[in-house]
Structures are given as structure tokens and as C-alpha cells.
């Protein structure tokens, strides 16, 4: 069985598609064909779109390296030509001193100016990289199947976007530029040292292989502990986000101290992980420095012996030792670079894990068949699984004609909401098909498809914005007048009469300043504003009391008039007038028919009805809270 969400073509999964075509980011899914790229190579691949800026930065680095190679020579002039008996360019001692001081000033002024230019170039480049990667990761995570988000916390995704993406800045500022500088300095230093004294040059290089061996031994350990630290840090974010999001429950149960203890545990685990990584880095740096210091000491001993034997002047010894220090500096820098690279690679690995998660095939190559669909839905022999071990739907089939209201009822966990998610194409079926007006949903553009459907979840999602902007979320180009009309049709204004700001009333996070019924009315207004031909409602009144449910039903009736509706409900009274009711149990359709037909059959629907109403037929819910004898408001309108 294929796990859902892997239906994209393999070539597309390997190389994209990317959300932003101007600077695409290459992806390699684990299931994709072709060679796997290391995290480091993929990080360097991100720089390709900015190769001109990177080349300019490397050019500046090359110029700074040449200036660095020239720094010891003014000192040689000072030692040999000012303090010593040697002459340079026929200059007297005062002239040689002026030349030494002048060269030193010029070298340092140029190096400082180039350093400022390098910082300007590379900071701008690194911020562009971070912005592009953050944009890609955010866009990608909003487009992956719900299966991905169901298996992870929202805080984990936030940490990947906000923190892990900074790996590209580290790879540029702490890896690419230092690597270029170290390699250039290393190559130039070796050339100059060989010209000065080939034997001492070879002796200086003797410790380099040992430093490389030490670096190799520590590389995997640094990567492993860096990745563990990132995971621990994400755990701190996750617990903080979950606790603050549920702060009402936490305070209501008096669990502040309990949550603080759990937070301290996670923060402590992060601290211990950081200390382990720091100890490893310190030990790594000490081992490399020990090897190089032994090598430098040996070179100093031999160079001094050569000077005493008259083979080198004191100035040449100082120049050679300066270059030896310059040689060991880049080698130690390369070892430090490996540490930085492994930390950045650990963060980048988490970023690429998210980017490698395949999208649903969005069907962008297909043209929308019409501007507005008729609204005929069909689910044909559909099976679905969240994983290979968790199949939740088994050969489910049902049909909804244009303008009909069809209800799904059944025990909790039976698969009702999963069916709704397949109609919205939040997931794709493993087997079978879901069709709209006779066309498989996978053959339709995904963005166009979702414009044809208005969705009202059990707990409406409201944003930290005004009521007006929350309603406008249904259609972003709607005018204020259209928003107000939708609000009036859903009786939202009746709920806000106590606030003089009306629709401009700001809402708290997730709309916590509104009651459940008020949030439902805003969600209904949002769906009305969208004016989609299909409406999906997932247990829209299950969290409401009877009085509030009766008041909300009027808004539902206005919303569903003339539209195709798929309603998931636990309260059987709300679906008695449905054109057809499907009874779902254990991922299968157990019964189907109208309310009276299903009651006559008995079976699961009859048992659910008896459990809810004790075997008696409930009176129709009143249209208004003070009209108990009024007939129940129809949950839909069937024009056919």
C-alpha cells in the first residue's frame, strides 16, 4: 500500500516544484531516484542563484588574503634594514624606517576597507538566502498533506522556519568565506615558505595530516550532538507553545507548577545537550591546537638553529615564523570550520527534512473546467491510510447530487472527518477516487477546487484580527459592503451589539474573546462571503448548547440554501431532514437512507438514536430559543 501524499511524480519530487521559481531550492526526497546529495552540498547549492554576489565576496576575500601574506614583510624591513646592517633600495636607515611604517599603514588601511566591503556584501547575501529559504519552507509546510502536520507539533514547524533556516547564514559567513580565506592563505603561505626554505616548509607541513586525522575523528560526533541540541531546543519551543495555547485549561486546573516542572525538564535537557556539545568542541579545538603547537615549536627550534648557523637572517626567521603561524592558523581555522559546518548541517538537515516532504499533486497543469461547478460529488471505492499500519477507510462509496444535503453519522473515530478531508483534498486516497461533477479531484487544479468549497470545522479557526478581517478571510478581495452583508446574513452583528466598534472589534488569539456560538456565526459569515457551491460542515453544533444551536441553525439554513452540503454530525436531530444519511463505522459505510428509513431498519443508526433519545422521537428543534413549538429549521434547501 502506498502511504498517502506520495502521489507526486518522482521527477517532480526530486527537483521541486518550488513555490518561488526565481530562486528554486533543489529537493531530494528519500524515496526519489537519483543520487543522494549530502546536506553540505545542498547548502552550497543554495548559493547558486547568488553566485555573482558570492563571487564578489570571494574576490574581496582573495584581496584580503594577499594583504595578509604581505603583512610580515614590513617587519622584515624593520629588523634587517633599520636595525640590521642590510640595505634596501639604497635607502638609509631613516628611509627604510619610513618605508616599513608606510607599508604597514597601507596594508592595514586596505585590509580594514576590504573588511568593511566584505561584511556589506556577505551580510546582504546571507540575509537574502535566509529570507528565500524561510519563504520556501513556510510555503512548503502550508502545502504538504495534513498527515505531515498530524504527526508533528506546530512549534516544531515554527522552530524550523525561524531558527533552523539560519543555517544558510552560518554556512556562508562561518563556512564558505572562512573556507575560501583559509585555503587561499594556506596555498599562498606554502608557496612563500618553500621559496624561503624548502626544508623548513616541509617540516612545517608535517603536523597538518595529524590535525586532519583529529578533525576527521570528531566530525561525526559534533554533527550528532548538534542535531540532538536542535531537537532539544525544538522540544522547549513545543512545550512553551502548547502550554500558552492552552493557558485557560492550565489555569483552570491549577497546573501552573506542573507545567513549569515539565518546562524545566525540557530546558534542562537542552542545557545538558548544549554542555555536551560545548565539551566536545573544546576538546576538539584543544586536540588540534596541541598538534599544531608541537609542530610550531619544532619549526621554531630548527629555524633558530639555521639562524645561528648563518643560513638565515633574523628578519628572515621572523618572517618564516610569521608564515608558519599563518600556516597553522588556517589549518586550525579549517578544524573550527568543520565544527561550525557540522552545527549548520544539523540545522539544515531539519530544514531539508521538511522540504523533502512531498506535496500532493496540485494539478497546476490542468485547466479549470468551469468557473463554478454544479456540485455533484462521488466517492468511489475509496481506501485511505495515514500510514501503512493505520488504514482508516475501507472501500467507501457514496454520492451527493447537486443541491442535496448528505449527512455522515457514526461513532467517534469512525472515519467521517477523514472522508471530508478527502473531498477537500487535504489528503489523497490510497485507492479509489473522489470525483466532482464526474472528474477525479486529482485531475483538477487544487487551488481552483478549494475555491469551490466552503468549510466550517467543528471548532472554527479565528485569527488575531478584527471580526471584519476574519470574515474577509473567506474572500480576500471582498468589499466592506459585502463583508457586512455576509455578517448580517449570519446574524454576527446581533452578537456584537454590546461593542460600539461592531465588525471592527478586535479578537483575541484564536477568537477566545467570543463564545462558541459567536465563533460559529463568524465562520458561517466567512463561508457565506466565499459563496462556494459546496459546503462541508464538520460537526458544526456539537460544542453548542441547545439554545445556541437553535439560534445558529437559522444562519446555517441561509448558508446551505441552493448548495450541495456534506454535514458531519453527532446530534442526529440536526440531520433528520438530510436528503440522505450515511452511517459510518470502522471506516466502512454500514447503512444509508433517509432518517425514517434508517429508523425502520434499526441497526447502528437505530442504536445511536436510542442512545441519544431513549427510543423516542425528539421534537424538532425550535427556530428561535423562545418558540419551542416552532418547526425545526431545515438544515438545507433542495431545489431539485
Q: DSSP letters along 180-223, please? A: HHHHHHHHHHHHHHHHH-HHHHHHHHTTHHHHHHHHHHHHHHHH
Query: pLDDT higher for 45 or 485?
Result: 485
Enclosing domain of residue 493: 458-531
Whether residue 346 sits in one domain with residue 482: no
Q: Work out the percent of the chain whose per-residue pLDDT is above 90.
A: 10
Could you tell me if residue 374 is inside a domain? no
Q: Is the pLDDT of residue 580 over 60?
A: yes
Torsion angle, CA of 391/392/394/400, rounded to 10 degrees? Answer: -150
The pLDDT score that the predictor gives to residue 262 is 86
Could you tell me if residue 331 is inside a domain? yes
> For the segment 20-45, what is each residue's pLDDT rounded down to a tens digit?
334 444 444 333 444 455 676 777 77
Whichever domain contains 87, its CATH number is: 1.20.1560.10
Task: Say if residues 58 and 118 touch (Cβ distance below 8 Å).
Answer: no
The pLDDT score that the predictor gives to residue 618 is 52
The total domain count for the chain is 2
Whether residue 468 sits in one domain with residue 342: no
Could you tell me if residue 586 is inside a domain? no
The pTM (predicted TM-score) of the whole model is: 0.63
Whether residue 463 sits in one domain with residue 350: no
Beta partners for 534? 453, 564
Whether residue 479 sits in one domain with residue 345: no
Write out the three cell numbers for 135: 519563504
Could you tell me if residue 243 is inside a domain? yes
Residue that finishes a domain, picked among 531, 555, 579: 531
CA gap 326, 201 in Å, rounded: 12
Could you tell me if residue 633 is inside a domain? no
Say if residue 344 is exposed, middle or buried (CB neighbours under 10 Å; 0-12, 13-18, 19+): buried
Residue 435's pLDDT band (cuts 50, 70, 90): very high
The pLDDT score that the predictor gives to residue 557 is 75
Specify the DSSP element, H or E, that contains 378.
Answer: strand 377-387
Could you tell me if residue 328 is inside a domain? yes
Could you tell me if residue 105 is inside a domain? yes
Task: Say if residues 393 and 428 touch (Cβ distance below 8 Å).
Answer: no
Beta partners for 406? 566, 580
Residue 172's pLDDT band (cuts 50, 70, 90): low
Q: Is the pLDDT of residue 233 over 90?
A: no
Name the average pLDDT for the chain.
77
Could you tell me if residue 298 is inside a domain? yes
Whether residue 471 sits in one domain with residue 323: no
Residue that finishes a domain, picked among 483, 509, 531: 531
Whether residue 349 sits in one domain with residue 463: no
Whichever domain contains 485, its CATH number is: 3.40.50.300
Residue 158's pLDDT band (cuts 50, 70, 90): confident
The pLDDT score that the predictor gives to residue 636 is 31
Residue that finishes a domain, picked among 473, 505, 531: 531
Residue 573's pLDDT band (cuts 50, 70, 90): low
Place of cell 556562508: 172
For the segment 204-228, the average pLDDT, to the nearest whole number, is 80
Q: Is the pLDDT of residue 382 over 80?
A: yes
Amino acid at each position: 500500500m502506498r502511504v498517502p501524499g506520495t502521489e507526486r511524480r518522482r521527477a517532480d519530487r526530486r527537483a521541486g516544484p518550488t513555490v518561488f521559481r526565481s530562486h528554486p531550492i533543489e529537493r531530494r526526497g528519500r524515496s526519489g531516484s537519483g543520487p543522494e546529495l549530502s546536506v553540505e552540498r545542498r547548502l552550497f547549492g543554495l548559493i547558486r542563484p547568488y553566485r555573482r554576489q558570492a563571487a564578489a565576496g570571494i574576490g574581496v576575500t582573495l584581496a584580503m588574503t594577499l594583504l595578509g601574506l604581505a603583512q610580515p614583510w614590513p617587519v622584515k624591513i624593520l629588523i634587517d634594514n633599520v636595525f640590521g646592517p642590510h640595505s634596501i633600495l639604497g635607502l638609509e636607515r631613516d628611509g627604510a624606517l619610513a618605508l616599513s611604517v608606510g607599508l604597514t599603514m597601507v596594508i592595514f588601511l586596505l585590509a580594514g576597507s576590504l573588511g568593511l566591503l566584505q561584511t556589506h556584501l556577505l551580510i546582504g547575501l546571507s540575509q537574502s538566502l535566509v529570507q528565500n529559504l524561510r519563504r520556501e519552507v513556510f510555503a512548503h509546510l502550508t502545502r504538504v498533506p495534513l498527515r505531515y502536520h498530524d504527526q508533528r507539533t506546530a512549534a516544531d514547524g515554527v522552530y524550523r522556519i525561524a531558527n533552523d533556516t539560519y543555517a544558510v547564514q552560518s554556512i556562508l559567513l562561518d563556512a564558505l568565506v572562512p573556507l575560501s580565506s583559509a585555503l587561499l592563505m594556506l596555498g599562498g603561505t606554502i608557496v612563500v615558505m618553500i621559496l624561503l626554505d624548502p626544508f623548513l616548509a616541509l617540516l612545517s607541513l608535517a603536523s597538518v595530516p595529524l590535525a586532519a586525522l583529529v578533525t576527521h575523528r570528531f566530525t561525526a560526533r559534533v554533527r550528532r550532538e548538534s542535531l540532538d541540541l536542535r531537537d532539544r531546543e525544538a522540544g522547549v519551543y513545543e512545550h512553551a507553545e502548547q502550554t500558552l495555547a492552552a493557558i485557560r485549561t492550565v489555569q483552570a486546573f491549577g497546573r501552573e507548577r506542573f507545567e513549569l516542572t515539565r518546562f524545566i525538564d525540557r530546558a534542562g535537557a537542552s542545557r545538558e545537550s548544549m554542555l555536551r556539545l560545548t565539551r566536545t568542541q573544546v576538546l576538539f579545538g584543544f586536540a588540534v591546537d596541541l598538534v599544531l603547537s608541537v609542530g610550531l615549536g619544532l619549526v621554531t627550534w630548527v629555524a633558530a638553529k639555521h639562524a645561528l648557523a648563518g643560513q638565515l637572517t633574523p628578519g628572515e626567521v621572523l618572517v618564516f615564523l610569521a608564515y608558519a603561524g599563518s600556516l597553522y592558523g588556517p589549518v586550525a581555522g579549517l578544524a573550527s570550520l568543520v565544527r561550525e559546518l557540522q552545527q549548520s548541517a544539523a540545522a539544515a538537515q531539519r530544514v531539508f527534512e521538511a522540504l523533502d516532504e512531498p506535496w500532493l499533486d496540485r494539478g497546476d497543469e490542468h485547466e479549470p473546467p468551469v468557473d463554478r461547478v454544479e456540485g455533484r460529488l462521488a466517492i468511489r471505492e475509496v481506501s485511505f491510510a495515514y500510514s501503512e499500519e493505520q488504514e482508516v477507510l475501507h472501500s467507501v462509496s457514496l454520492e451527493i447530487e447537486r443541491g442535496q444535503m448528505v449527512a455522515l453519522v457514526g461513532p467517534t473515530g469512525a472515519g467521517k472527518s477523514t472522508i471530508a478531508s478527502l473531498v477537500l483534498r487535504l489528503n489523497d486516497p490510497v485507492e479509489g477516487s473522489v470525483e466532482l461533477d464526474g472528474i477525479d479531484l486529482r485531475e483538477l487544479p487544487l487551488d481552483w477546487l478549494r475555491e469551490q468549497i466552503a468549510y466550517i470545522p467543528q471548532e472554527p479557526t479565528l485569527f488575531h484580527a478584527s471580526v471584519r478581517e476574519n470574515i474577509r478571510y473567506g474572500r480576500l478581495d471582498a468589499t466592506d459592503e459585502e463583508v457586512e452583508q455576509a455578517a448580517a446574513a449570519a446574524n454576527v452583528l446581533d452578537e456584537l451589539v454590546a461593542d460600539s466598534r461592531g465588525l471592527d472589534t478586535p479578537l483575541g488569539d484564536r477568537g477566545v474573546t467570543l463564545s462558541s456560538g459567536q465563533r460559529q456565526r463568524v465562520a458561517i459569515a466567512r463561508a457565506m462571503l466565499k459563496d462556494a457551491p459546496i459546503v462541508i460542515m464538520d460537526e458544526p453544533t456539537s460544542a453548542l448548547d441547545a439554545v445556541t444551536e437553535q439560534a445558529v441553525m437559522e444562519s446555517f439554513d441561509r448558508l446551505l440554501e441552493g448548495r450541495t452540503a456534506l454535514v458531519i454530525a453527532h446530534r442526529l436531530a440536526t440531520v433528520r431532514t438530510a436528503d440522505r444519511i450515511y452511517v459510518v463505522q470502522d471506516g466502512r459505510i454500514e447503512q444509508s437512507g433517509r432518517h425514517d428509513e434508517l429508523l425502520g431498519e434499526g441497526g447502528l443508526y437505530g442504536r445511536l438514536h436510542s442512545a441519544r433519545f431513549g427510543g423516542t422521537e425528539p421534537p424538532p428543534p425550535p427556530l428561535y430559543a423562545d418558540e419551542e413549538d416552532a418547526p425545526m429549521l431545515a438544515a438545507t434547501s433542495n431545489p431539485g
